[in-house]
Structure formats: structure tokens, C-alpha cells
């Protein structure tokens, strides 16, 4: 790979490492989210990971811990990965946006969906992660990640679990975000939706075999 300058002022080459990118991303001011976030939450996992999971943005727990998918949605993701026969330690897990966007409600920080300005500002980090890890398969978790990666017309409800042509990896697909499962209106729906999510992850496991 030839050297490439990115719009976030980072030079990516075939020798770049995730550790270098993570260090550089700590100083990122490409959009305003750094002002109210505790820290940048960069992706994590082995550089040789064959699968990359991409979520929307860190939540409250991730913002405080500095690690992706460690809060309630992350714990559910972990459980479902086990069910699908995927070892999280062998995966690379990241987000489209790397700072927590929130609004205050009393003493609480409430998740606020990132907009196109933040998604575009942050996208070079994700591209850089992809070019270092070179995963065999990229899995978008939820609509924000899926549309950032596969285009605005992508619909998770319609296109989940299907291979998507994608220039940056040999295989790609999208499924729901685990936080959507936590918001299911009743126990029965939650159980059914978790089973569908695990079925999508089993397809990923199949591709990795
Ligand atoms: N939701 C996400 O999209 N990413 C995280 O890291 C946590 C929750």
C-alpha cells in the first residue's frame, strides 16, 4: 500500500499500526464531539482479526472506560457472539464515531445520534482501521454504521444478513445493533430478536470457516 494522507492529518502506510492510530486519534478535533466527551474510544482487537464489527458510537460506559462495547449493549453482543461460536478476542470491534455524543437530562448523559458532519469527520479513522486490519468480513451493527459504510439507501430492516458489495473488504454485511435488542418492547420480542441476531452472527461464523 502506498502512503496516504488523510483529512484528519494522519499518514497511513502499510507499516501503520493500530497503536499509532489510537495515539493519534486521542488528539482528534475533527468535529466538536471531543469537547464534551471524556476521551476518544478507538477500536480494539488483534490487527490480524478476520472480522471487524462496527457500531455507531461509544455509549456512556464506553466513554468512561475508554473501550468499545463494554456497556450493556457490549455485554449482550458478547453473549450472542459466544452463542454463534465467535471468540470476541479474535475480533476487531470499533465504531463509526469515536466520541460519545450526548445531551444532559438531569444528572444523566443521554445518547444523541451522531449526524452526517460527525460521521464524515470521523470516517477516515475507520478507513484507516480497515486498511491496517484488512478484515475478511466487516459487520455493520445498526443503521448508522450500515449507512455510513454502505450508503444512505441501505436499510437494515430490509437488507440485514445479506452480503453487501463493499470496496474495502472481501465480505460485508449488516445486522441490527445490540442496543435495539435491549429496547425490545417485551420479553417475547426480545427473545425472538436475539435469536435472529445470533442467526446473523452464525452466518458471519460460517464465512470465517
Ligand atoms: N453502542 C455502540 O454503537 N458502540 C459502543 O461501543 C457501545 C454502544
Distance from residue 2's CA to the centre of ligand 1 (Å): 32
- Number of domains the chain contains: 1
pLDDT score, position 9:
72
Nearest by Cα to 92 from 142, 40, 130: 130
Q: Is 68 in the pocket of ligand 1 (CB under 6 A)?
A: yes
Range of the domain at 119: 4-208
Output the domain CATH number for residue 182: 3.40.470.10
Q: Is the CB of 69 under 6 A from ligand 1?
A: yes
**pLDDT confidence of residue 28:** 95
Q: Provide the pLDDT for residue 14.
A: 62
In the chain (209 residues long), the average pLDDT of successive 10-residue segments reads: 67 82 95 97 98 98 98 98 98 98 97 97 96 97 98 97 96 98 97 98 96
Using alpha carbons only, give the angle 208, 90, 113 rounded to the nearest 5 degrees. 95
Amino acid at each position: 500500500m502506498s502512503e496516504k494522507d488523510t483529512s484528519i492529518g494522519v499518514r497511513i502506510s502499510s507499516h501503520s499500526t493500530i497503536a499509532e492510530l489510537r495515539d493519534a486519534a486521542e488528539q482528534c478535533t475533527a468535529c466538536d464531539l471531543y469537547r464534551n466527551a471524556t476521551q476518544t474510544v478507538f477500536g480494539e482487537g488483534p490487527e490480524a482479526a478476520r472480522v471487524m464489527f462496527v457500531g455507531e458510537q461509544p455509549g456512556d460506559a464506553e466513554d468512561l472506560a475508554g473501550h468499545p462495547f463494554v456497556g450493556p449493549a457490549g455485554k449482550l453482543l458478547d453473549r450472542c457472539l459466544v452463542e454463534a461460536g465467535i471468540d470476541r478476542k479474535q475480533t476487531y470491534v470499533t465504531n463509526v464515531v469515536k466520541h460519545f455524543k450526548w445531551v444532559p437530562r438531569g444528572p444523566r448523559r443521554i445518547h444523541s445520534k451522531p449526524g452526517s458532519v460527525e460521521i464524515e469527520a470521523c470516517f477516515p479513522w475507520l478507513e484507516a482501521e480497515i486498511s491496517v486490519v484488512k478484515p475478511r468480513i466487516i459487520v455493520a451493527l445498526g443503521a448508522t454504521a450500515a449507512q455510513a459504510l454502505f450508503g444512505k439507501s441501505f436499510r437494515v430492516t430490509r437488507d440485514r444478513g445479506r452480503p453487501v458489495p463493499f470496496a474495502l473488504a472481501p465480505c460485508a454485511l449488516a445486522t441490527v445493533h445490540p442496543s435495539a435488542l435491549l429496547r425490545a418492547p417485551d420479553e417475547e420480542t426480545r427473545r425472538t430478536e436475539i435469536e435472529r441476531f445470533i442467526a446473523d452472527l452464525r452466518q458471519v461464523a460460517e464465512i470465517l470457516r
